[in-house]
């Protein structure tokens, strides 16, 4: 026993050349080991308890699936990815505060989130100030990416792309008299205006356009005016609950003509509240369930979080996470992380997102890719991106749209 | 002609909701000169409790309605005993008590969030939502019930206020609680009644509008704002003036929507309120009610 005790200090006091080499190597690598020992952090900031909670929760679930996939496969170069999440409650100020915390206190490498437009927009200046990549999800206000901020990228489609897709469908199906009805919030007015412009470009006249207050319990004046204009198709730009009221009032007034409702009808709430009044409605979506990879993703989603209708929201979270994780594995990012340079790593991630700009995710038709570039921080392209789905079974399900029957007079 | 009928019916339906919330706000203000910023939260509790009792617990409709009313009465008592009375005992100014009710509204929303979650939920309808023709006009029984209940509750409030000795106590307390107390009126009980009765009205509003607006825990704020607008336009001291203000606001909204665009309804209404207040600072019917006292 004594011998052993006497021997060990001797080893420390007089290390052999071999031990000395090992110790020197360990000390030399401590810079990278300091980062390597910690998980790589990414922040998810979105509304998960306010009026747009549906979207934020679904996107976060999709985001978590992507992160779990990489962690289950051993992480990136052996390092696990750690998610720090914040609920911005549709509050722009709170959301901006959380984004700052991500950049400053949490040491996150990127921020993902932003479904409702106002809080999503509030994170853009934070991303620029802290030079941290920010992947925004479904916030559709066009001008958010018109003048690209250096670290800000949009993964979801913008409102004018929804509008163009709707106008293209309306023209292709042979409709000649379009009625637009929208709520008085920015989403409703912006989308209706963009669609009116797109329809004009397609040569399809808008015979009437009506706006309503989202808290009105009776929308008869607006629907009555729509009826008097004798349209052959109605396009609605609502939020969830008011959209249901529009559809129910249309049903009450016996207006069973073809209807298209903006992407808010992808949310369960609108369809549940509208019930059978929503059946037959067409909704623009960016998820093609004919694609095996999309189907596989929704199977994983169902296994982990329960059944979800095939909408863009979970896919947006998943695609954003996958793009970030792909960038994270790039040598330039790994080199910056090894040097313990957080700021350099963030810049390298931004550059990698641009370099890998033609990423093929789960949105769009098979073969369609994102189109990020130096001057283009809006990912979704104008073509082959939208897939229309139809509401069925008293609002419970979204199925492939039957365009053969979606015609004037049907 | 048909269009103006549609507009007036829509104005009356929406106005009944605004009017009932305005009436509730005014009832409390009439007893203690405090504006209750948690009034919309009573409506929210009515809506969300309907989901709890009708959907989650599958209670029969009338039992569920009874349970909903118990919930809002309990909420009113908590607000009165837990916020209003303690602040009053410490000599807080009405403005401080108003901030207290605002704090209570935010806390109530937070608790509701824990119970019902953040999503907008479907609320079962008590009356049918099927279309109903009234000559050239079209509505549904649920919307008609809103108008009917509005008329019924106005009548009940009028009877209570002007045909009972308790109503006299309410009005006396509203004018001067100290003198009312010296004359043997239990002013604290009158105030408590104001909270409970206004909460009951708001609970009924919740049951009626839930199937039309859907239920979300944050819905109380906008209803409080509409009710407050109604009370200011009509005249804050009188429940009936506030109810009339609610109908006026909704009719103007419907007219703007029917002949223009809802986009401009709120700026027009606020301009109208401002213009009216320049000439009648106590609201349209404020002086009339003051005279009745």
| Domains of chain B, start order | 2-119+132-292 (1.10.3470)
**Interfacial residues of B (vs A; Cβ cutoff 8 Å):** 2-3, 6-7, 9-10, 13-14, 17, 113, 117-122, 129-131, 137-140, 143, 146, 209, 212-214, 216, 218, 222-223, 226, 253-254, 257-258, 261-263, 265-266
CATH code of domain A160-285+387-400: 3.40.50.2300
Q: Which residues of B186-214 are buried (b: 16+ CB within 10 A; e: fewer)?
A: ebbebbbbbbbbbbbbbbbbbbbbbbbbb
- A384 part of contact set with chain B, CB < 8 Å: no
Q: Which of A94, A184, A218, A251 to mutate to test the interface with B (most CBs of B within 10 A)?
A: A218
Question: Bridge-partner residues for A209, per DSSP?
Answer: A180
pLDDT in tens, A285-323: 999 999 999 999 999 999 999 988 999 999 999 999 999
In this chain, the answer to whether the domains covering A40-157+290-355 and A160-285+387-400 adopt an identical fold is yes
**Measured in whole angstroms, how far is the alpha carbon of residue A398 from the centre of its chain?**
19
- A241 part of contact set with chain B, CB < 8 Å: yes
Q: What percent of chain B has pLDDT over 70?
A: 97
**pLDDT score recorded for residue A24:** 45
Task: Considering only the beta carbons, identify the residue of B6, B119, B209 that sits closest to A217.
Answer: B209
Asked whether the beta carbons of B24 and B196 are under 8 A apart, the reply is no
Answer with the residue of higher pLDDT: A124 or B238.
A124
Indicate whether A19 pLDDT > 60: no
Are the Cβ atoms of A213 and B226 closer than 8 angstroms? Answer: no
**Rounded mean pLDDT of A113-134?**
94
Indicate whether A5 pLDDT > 60: no
Question: Bridge-partner residues for A85, per DSSP?
Answer: A44
Average pLDDT, chain B: 90
Q: Which residues contact A407 (CB under 8 A, 6 or more apart)?
A: A173, A174, A258
Indicate whether B259 pLDDT > 80: yes
- Sheet of A387-392: strand order equals A206-212, A178-183, A233-237, A259-261, A282-285, A387-392, A397-400
Q: Which residues of A touch B140 (CB under 8 A)?
A: 252
Q: Which residues of B touch A51 (CB under 8 A)?
A: 120, 216, 218
Cα(A235)–Cα(A52) distance, rounded to whole angstroms? 21
pLDDT in tens, B111-154: 998 999 877 888 998 998 888 888 888 888 999 999 999 999 99
- A210 part of contact set with chain B, CB < 8 Å: yes
Indicate whether A409 pLDDT > 50: yes
**pLDDT score recorded for residue A185:** 81
**Whole-complex ipTM:** 0.74
Question: pTM higher than 0.80, yes or no?
Answer: no
If DSSP codes are grouped into helix, strand and coil, which group holds residue B33?
coil
What is the torsion angle, in degrees rounded to the nearest 10, for the CA atoms of residue A25, residue A31, residue A37 and residue A42?
-150
**pLDDT score recorded for residue B1:** 65
Q: Which residues of B touch A217 (CB under 8 A)?
A: 13-14, 17, 143, 146, 209, 212-213
Cα(A220)–Cα(B9) distance, rounded to whole angstroms? 9
Q: pLDDT band for A27, please (50, 70, 90 cuts).
A: very low
Q: pLDDT band for A146, please (50, 70, 90 cuts).
A: confident
**pLDDT score recorded for residue A22:** 52
Are the Cβ atoms of A220 and B9 closer than 8 angstroms? Answer: yes
Domain boundaries, chain A: 40-157+290-355, 160-285+387-400
CATH code of domain A40-157+290-355: 3.40.50.2300
């Amino acid at each position: 026993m004594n011998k052993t005790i006497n021997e060990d200090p001797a080893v420390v006091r007089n290390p052999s050349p071999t031990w000395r080499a090992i110790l020197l190597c360990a000390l030399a690598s401590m810079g990278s080991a300091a980062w390597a020992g910690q998980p790589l952090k990414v922040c998810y900031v979105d509304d998960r308890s306010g009026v747009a909670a549906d979207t934020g929760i679904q996107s976060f679930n999709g985001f978590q699936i992507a992160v779990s996939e990489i962690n289950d496969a051993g992480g990136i170069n052996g390092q696990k990815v750690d998610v720090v999440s914040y609920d911005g409650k549709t509050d722009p100020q709170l959301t901006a505060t959380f984004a700052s915390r991500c950049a400053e206190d949490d040491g996150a490498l990127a921020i993902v989130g932003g479904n409702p437009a106002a809080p999503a927009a509030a994170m853009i200046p934070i991303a620029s100030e802290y030079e941290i990549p920010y992947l925004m999800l479904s916030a559709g206000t066009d001008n958010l990416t018109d003048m690209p901020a250096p670290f800000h990228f949009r993964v979801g489609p913008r409102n004018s792309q929804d509008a163009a897709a709707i106008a293209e469908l309306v023209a292709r199906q042979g409709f000649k008299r379009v009625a637009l009805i929208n709520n008085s919030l920015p989403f409703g007015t912006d989308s209706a205006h963009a669609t009116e412009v797109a329809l004009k470009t397609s040569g399809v006249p808008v015979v009437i356009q009506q706006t309503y207050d989202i808290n009105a319990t009776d929308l008869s004046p607006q629907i009555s005016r729509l009826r008097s204009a004798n349209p052959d198709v109605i396009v609605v730009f609502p939020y969830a609950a008011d959209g249901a009221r529009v559809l129910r009032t249309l049903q009450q007034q016996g207006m069973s003509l073809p209807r298209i409702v903006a992407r808010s009808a992808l949310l369960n709430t609108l369809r549940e509240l509208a019930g059978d009044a929503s059946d037959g409605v067409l909704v623009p979506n960016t998820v093609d369930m004919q694609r095996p990879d999309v189907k596989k993703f929704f199977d994983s989603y169902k296994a982990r979080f329960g059944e979800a209708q095939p909408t863009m929201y979970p896919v947006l979270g998943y695609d954003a996470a996958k793009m970030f994780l792909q960038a994270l594995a790039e040598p330039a990012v790994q080199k910056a992380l090894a040097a313990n340079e957080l700021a350099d790593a963030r810049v390298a991630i931004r550059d990698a997102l641009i370099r890998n700009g033609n990423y093929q995710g789960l949105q769009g038709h098979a073969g369609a890719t994102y189109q990020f570039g130096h001057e283009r921080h809006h990912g979704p392209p104008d073509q082959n991106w939208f897939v229309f789905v139809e509401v069925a079974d008293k609002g419970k399900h979204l199925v492939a749209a039957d365009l053969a029957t979606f015609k004037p007079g049907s | 002609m048909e269009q103006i009928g549609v507009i007036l019916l829509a104005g009356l339906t929406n106005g009944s909701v605004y009017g009932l919330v305005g009436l509730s706000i005014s009832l409390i203000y009439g007893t203690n000169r405090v504006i209750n910023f948690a009034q919309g939260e009573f409506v929210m509790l009515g809506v969300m409790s309907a989901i709890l009792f009708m959907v989650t617990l599958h209670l029969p409709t009338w039992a569920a309605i009874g349970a909903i009313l118990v919930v809002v009465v309990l909420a009113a008592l908590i607000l009165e005993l837990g916020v209003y009375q303690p602040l009053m005992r410490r000599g807080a100014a009405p403005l401080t008590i108003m901030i207290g009710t605002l704090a209570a509204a935010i806390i109530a929303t937070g608790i509701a969030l824990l119970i019902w979650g953040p999503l907008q939920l479907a609320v079962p309808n008590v009356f049918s939502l099927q279309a109903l023709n009234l000559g050239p006009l079209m509505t549904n029984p649920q919307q008609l019930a809103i108008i009917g209940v509005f008329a019924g509750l106005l009548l009940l409030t009028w009877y209570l206020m002007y045909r009972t000795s308790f109503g006299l106590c309410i009005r006396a307390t509203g004018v001067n609680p100290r003198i009312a107390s010296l004359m043997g009126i239990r002013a604290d009980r009158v105030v408590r009644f104001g909270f409970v009765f206004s909460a009951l009205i708001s609970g009924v509003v919740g049951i009626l509008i839930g199937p039309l607006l859907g239920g979300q825990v944050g819905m109380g704020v906008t209803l409080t704002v509409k009710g407050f607008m109604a009370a200011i336009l009509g005249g804050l001291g009188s429940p009936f003036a506030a109810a009339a203000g609610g109908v006026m606001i909704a009719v103007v909204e419907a007219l703007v929507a029917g002949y223009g665009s809802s986009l401009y309804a709120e700026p027009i209404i606020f301009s109208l309120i401002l213009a009216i207040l320049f000439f009648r600072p106590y609201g349209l019917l404020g002086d009339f009610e003051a005279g009745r006292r």
